[in-house]
Structure 1
Amino acid sequence: MAWNEPGNGGRDKDPWGKGGRDQGPPDLDEAIKNVSRRLGGIFGGGSGGSGLSGGGFSTGAIGLILVVLLIVWALSGFYTIREAERGVVLRFGEYLEEVSPGLHWRPVFVDEYIPVDVSTTQSMPSRGNMLTRDENVVRVEMEVQFRVVDPRAFLFTVPDPYDTLKQATDSALRYVVGHARMDDVLSEGREQVRQDTWKELESIIDNYGIGITIRDVNFQNARPPEQVRDAFDDAVAAREDEERIINQGRAYAREKEPQARGRVERMLEEAQGYKEKVILEAQGEVAQFEKLLPQYQAAPEVTRSRLYIEMMQSVLSNTSKVLVDVEGGNNMMYLPLDQMMKQRKANPSSGSGQAPMTINSSSGGTDYPASSGGRTSRDDRYRQGRN
């Protein structure tokens, strides 16, 4: 009879293994020991207990295992998305949602997540031999820098977004180089080639819609074929020399131009000063003559004589010849001091060496002294008077 059946047998049965129906609540320590003993019998291969009790023990153990497994499954569903990433969640392989950085939970074996870096700028090189518009072959190397802006499009639009970007870069670069001359690619047109490649690549990427944006396109290197490389190196060196000489000329012009402007300003100021000086002198002379005019009108002879004497004083002050007016006659004595000084230096023991000359102011003639050898001729006297 089962323990819960009516009758004395049922009243004497206790599910906790103690006789009597009026017993108190089961002891907790005893219950734990019973559970431990039963689990030990199941996993340790014990033979105690009836078959019904053994089946009950097996069901409890399976339930416990299921609970443990459920806990492990729940804990394994937690995952973390880093700050620079975005998580794309898939449920049974289909896109479900996009999660932001932080701690998240997903049901394992149902959902899966793919982290995508959306903050780091990535690089992809591209290089190859390309044909220019003027039918020359050049080897061009370029690097593309990009960043993911749409994780869903980046993962599911095309099978391999990196390969798609590489092919698009190669196509854009070949298109631009094919429409440019070799000299433009190798020298002065490199920046234009870079910008055109960037623009063409963006248009291709927009058509694909792979969820990335181009941050920069770096033109790294461009080389001519080995057969003509030396000639192109010489051409590049010549262009650099040309630029250097032009820069030197500009520097020289910037140096000399301020000096020339300074000289021009100085000459203009000197001319202006000279102009003002001449004007002031002329005005002074005019004022002087206007001041003398009343005096001349009052005493013409006296004023004329005074002006003559002042003028002779001004003229004769710069000469070494001396004119002495002899009182009581019309004669004027002329002393050639310069000739006398020259003869004294030439012959110190001969004395003065020349007598003074007399000028007859009444007759307008000149009496010349005779030399030691007799009277001199008229031409000699004329030359002596000139000296």
Structure 2
Amino acid sequence: MAWNEPGKDDKKDQDPWQNSGKKKDQGPPDLDVVFQKISDLIGGLFGKKTSSGSSDKKGGGKFIAIIVAVLLAVVWFFSGIYTINESDRGVVLRFGAYHTQVEPGLHWNPKFIDKIIPVNVEAFRTMPTTGFMLTEDENIVRVAMEVQYRIIAPEKYLFSVTDADNSLLQALDSALRFVIGHSTMDDALTTGREVVRQETWEMLDKIIEPYNLGIEIVDVNLQQTRPPEQVKAAFDDAIAAQEDEERFVREAEAYQRSKEPIARGQVKRIELQAQAYSEGIVLKAQGEVARFNKLLPEYKANPEVTRQRIYIETMETVLSNTSKVLIDNKAGGNLTFLPLDKLMNKQATKPQSTSSSEIEIRSRADEKTDQDERATTSARFSSRSSGRDY
């Protein structure tokens, strides 16, 4: 019977925390008594009898069960608190099935009911592959390629296929072998490397699209393509020759770019000179026409005077650029002439700061030279000028 169960004698104090025979108004019990009572309660939970001889299994077991249940509930509640990092997304599984997706931050989930799988969606992952592959012209090359990707849909990445990374690796290997199999060995080793890279990327996207892997291809890098070791030296020489060819082409293009502006400038200069010459001739002709038009009325008014003036101006222009010789045809049998052009040139070439003695000596020398020239000329034409009038 419980200590607070109503009995026959309601006035009797049946409080288990007090000794029998003591009244309610007494002070608190000793610590030894309290510990003894707690020991009796724990023992009653396992069916033992208390020190008073009565079984306390029913009341004590209920009290302990409540305490244990509360403690378990508190532990269960606090164990459900978790944090998702900034770069992750949390995939929530409820009883093993996909339930929802949570964003970064502090969250709570019911323990033993939900399971949280964090997935990094910001990190760039790398998937390499390498191997010997057969080209279109039946040659073998060793190709190494690397693909970079990131996760964009965590739930698809986890549950669309058994292993998304392995599926991506198989798709990459398949796409690379397909592209290499449709390329020649020279293209794969030299100029066609970028084409192989682009075609492999496109083929990889097509392969993984139906599987919904939840990943995005960021970049595809063709690391190396090499021939087998037995023919490596010959292919290295071929690659070096192609590189030299490209270098020579670049040098020729640079030379062309340096010479072309100069040639264009010369062409432009010649065109401008020709245009200026053409305009000058046209303007000169127009000036001559205008001068003739002004001269025509004067000619009509006085033809003879105008004709004489034109003749004199023409002769002045012509004779100003020719050598002039003065001939005396009245000198008897000897022909005498005076080279005026030489005399004028000598006078023009004489220095301005010569002394009087030098001028006198040069005058005498010039006079003697003129006499010798006249004598020589007279002797030369003496035989020819007999009876002739020059």
TM-score normalised to structure 2 length:
0.75
- Cα pair distance change 1:288/1:73, threshold 3 Å: closer
Give the equivalent residue in structure 2 for 1:171: 174
What is the DSSP-based 3-state SS (H/G/I as helix, E as strand, rest coil) of the residue aligned with 2:369?
Answer: coil
User: Is 1:70–2:73 an aligned residue pair?
Assistant: yes
Mapped contact 1:335–1:356 kept (Cα < 8 A):
no
| Structure 1 residue 299, shift from structure 2 partner | 4.1
- Runs (4+) of structure 1 moved beyond 6 Å? 29-35, 41-44, 324-327, 345-348, 379-382
Within a 5 Å distance, the mapping from 1:291-310 to structure 2 comes to 291-310=294-313
User: Is 1:184–2:187 an aligned residue pair?
Assistant: yes
- Cα pair distance change 1:325/1:179, threshold 3 Å: same
1:353 to 335, 354, 369: 369
How far, CA to CA, are the matches of 1:244 and 1:186 in structure 2? 18
**Structure 1 unmatched runs, 5+:** 358-368, 383-387
- Cα pair distance change 1:379/1:174, threshold 3 Å: farther
- Cα pair distance change 1:34/1:75, threshold 3 Å: farther
Within a 5 Å distance, the mapping from 1:252-291 to structure 2 comes to 252-291=255-294
How far, CA to CA, are the matches of 1:174 and 1:272 in structure 2? 66
- Cα pair distance change 1:349/1:99, threshold 3 Å: closer
What is the DSSP-based 3-state SS (H/G/I as helix, E as strand, rest coil) of the residue aligned with 1:10?
Answer: coil
How far, CA to CA, are the matches of 1:140 and 1:302 in structure 2? 104
- Cα pair distance change 1:333/1:214, threshold 3 Å: same
Mapped contact 2:326–2:340 kept (Cα < 8 A):
no
Report sequence identity in percent.
47
| Structure 1 residue 54, shift from structure 2 partner | 5.6
Give the equivalent residue in structure 1 for 2:349: none
Give the equivalent residue in structure 2 for 1:312: 315
Mapped contact 1:129–1:137 kept (Cα < 8 A):
yes
Mapped contact 1:3–1:10 kept (Cα < 8 A):
no
- Cα pair distance change 1:339/1:89, threshold 3 Å: closer
**CA RMSD of the aligned region, Å?**
4.3
How far, CA to CA, are the matches of 2:175 and 2:225 in structure 1? 16
What is the DSSP-based 3-state SS (H/G/I as helix, E as strand, rest coil) of the residue aligned with 1:158?
Answer: coil
Q: Describe the superposition over 1:360-381 as per-residue Cα deviations: whole angstroms up to 9, x where unpaired.
A: xxxxxxxxx6559x94455788
Give the equivalent residue in structure 2 for 1:99: 102
Q: Describe the superposition over 1:220-239 as per-residue Cα deviations: whole angstroms up to 9, x where unpaired.
A: 22112222222222222222
TM-score normalised to structure 1 length:
0.75
How far, CA to CA, are the matches of 1:179 and 1:207 in structure 2? 24
The residue identity in structure 2 corresponding to 1:311 is: T
The residue identity in structure 1 corresponding to 2:37 is: R
Q: Describe the superposition over 1:25-83 as per-residue Cα deviations: whole angstroms up to 9, x where unpaired.
A: x99x8799976653366679xx9732436645465345433432332222212222223
- Cα pair distance change 1:169/1:284, threshold 3 Å: closer
Give the equivalent residue in structure 2 for 1:83: 86
How far, CA to CA, are the matches of 1:234 and 1:381 in structure 2? 94
| Structure 1 residue 194, shift from structure 2 partner | 1.4
Give the equivalent residue in structure 1 for 2:231: 228
Q: Describe the superposition over 1:272-317 as per-residue Cα deviations: whole angstroms up to 9, x where unpaired.
A: 2222222232233333334344444444444333333333332333
